[in-house]
Amino acid sequence: MAPFSSLNREQKESIGLLSFGTFLEYFDLMLYVHMAVLLNEIFFPKSDPHTASLLAALALCSSLAFRPIGALIFGWIGDHIGRKPTIIITTTMMAISCVVMANLPTYAQIGIAAAWTVTICRIFQGISSMGEVVGAEIYLTETISRPALFPVIASMEVLVSLGGLAALGVAFLVTSYGMNWRLAFWMGAVIAIVGAFARTRLRETPEFLEAKRKWLKKEIHHMNIEADPIGGKAFNATWKERINTKTLISYFFISCGVPLGFYLAFFHFIPVLKENFGYSSEDIVRHNFFLAFIPLITGITLTFLSYRIHPLKIQKIRSTLGLLLIILLPFLIMAATSPMQLFLIQSLILIFKLEESPSIPVFYSHFPIYCRFMSATVLFALSRALMYAITSFGMIYLVMYFGSFGIWLIALPIGIGYLLGLSHFKDLEIKYKLYPNLS
């Protein structure tokens, strides 16, 4: 592929190491989520269908509720110590969580302690994910130039989809063929440990090192020690640069689109499949496994397009169609009379879902480097934690009282905010003469 052929050996090695970790991160993170229909029965007490839905929501949200704390911790480490150590620490945390879950006794063996322990492990996985994926994307944003940067970061999102697909594949083997689910967590733990050691080969990003050098010069200047001037007024202006509030709000609304699409595609239809079509837990895992190929194919397509077309143009078209789909969604759901029709609706949601990719490096590039890691991780964490909580728990009651039209109460405001956010970043790209950015 043309953009990758223009990269040097060190850049390609960095992409390989970070891609490996990104795949692993989402494999480990989504493994429990997709096997929740089985594992909730193992680690939690038996419950009625309504409580089971709430437990499934808890399985999804437990790894997200504490993400803002992880964002603050790893955001500070990433901006003050470095991108590289942050990535290594978070990979190690994920490995430890997987080891604990692989050896955890069941509810039948130790009672409620099993439920608390698995929830704590999920929390640690969520916290560690903050520095992992965002850290990898920031690392590459600061290492590779446009336009090759766009497909490189987009390919990372493909690895996210592939990790989720692999997790679903393992869940499929466990539920359909009796594979020991503990082996899956052991596999994730071993890969995470290997990945953590492999990432010690990474070098700190040039942009961050330059920022640290300027910071040291600034400290020397404040101590009244004679030093060579570096950048004069331009440096002082850069050092005092603060992130624009409108930029923060815009990125927050853009980030809210991802959990909305993920929940609607993979979880919203589970009760319908169970109650209307008699699907078992095994049937649902199989259904979602084949569904997971859709975002993978979509991601590959976006990766190729992003090298030739400015990512914001791609997202504007895609999100406009996505908003139209949201308007039509309640009518499509009510008209569906078979699992295959639901599968097609879910596929459309995944194809046109509101997400950051392939414009992630565009968004990050407009955050000042001195607070880039903190800004990106905190907004990422807040948007995911808030939206997964709203969708996972809110949709249950909104649909209960308003039917499928309850989806509008959450999805339409997010869709409108998403489009306004894209418009803001387009204005920034035009301002700095970066739009359009054709090869």
Q: Is residue 214 part of a domain?
A: no
The most confident of 94-108, 131-145, 236-250, 419-433, by mean pLDDT: 419-433
Domain count, the chain: 1
User: CATH number, domain at 162?
Assistant: 1.20.1250.20
Q: Is residue 232 part of a domain?
A: no
Is pLDDT of 157 > 80? yes
Residue 55: what pLDDT?
57
Which residue is listed with tokens 């839905």? 53
User: Which tokens is 393 given?
Assistant: 């728990």
Q: For residue 436, give every residue at least 6 positions away whose Cβ sits within 8 Å of its Cβ, in sequence order, or none.
A: 309, 310, 313
Residue 419: what pLDDT?
95
Residue 305: what pLDDT?
93
Q: Is residue 268 part of a domain?
A: yes
Q: Is residue 223 part of a domain?
A: no
Asked if 407 and 329 count as a contact pair (C-beta separation under 8 A), the reply is yes
Q: Is residue 253 part of a domain?
A: yes
For 7-60, what is each residue's pLDDT tens digit? Answer: 777 777 778 877 777 787 778 777 777 676 667 777 776 655 555 555 555 655
The rounded distance, in Å, linking the Cα atoms of 306 and 314 is 8
The rounded distance, in Å, linking the Cα atoms of 401 and 334 is 15
Q: Is residue 6 part of a domain?
A: no
DSSP 68-108: HHHHHHHHHHHHHT-HHHHHHHHHHHHHHHHHHHHHPPPHH
The rounded distance, in Å, linking the Cα atoms of 369 and 215 is 12
The rounded distance, in Å, linking the Cα atoms of 413 and 408 is 8
Q: Is residue 218 part of a domain?
A: no
Owning domain of residue 266: 11-204+241-431
Is the preceding omega at residue 147 within 30 degrees of 0, hence cis?
A: yes
The rounded distance, in Å, linking the Cα atoms of 248 and 368 is 11
User: pTM of the predicted model, to two decimals?
Assistant: 0.78
Q: Is residue 235 part of a domain?
A: no
Is pLDDT of 286 > 90? no
Q: What is the DSSP letter of 356?
A: -
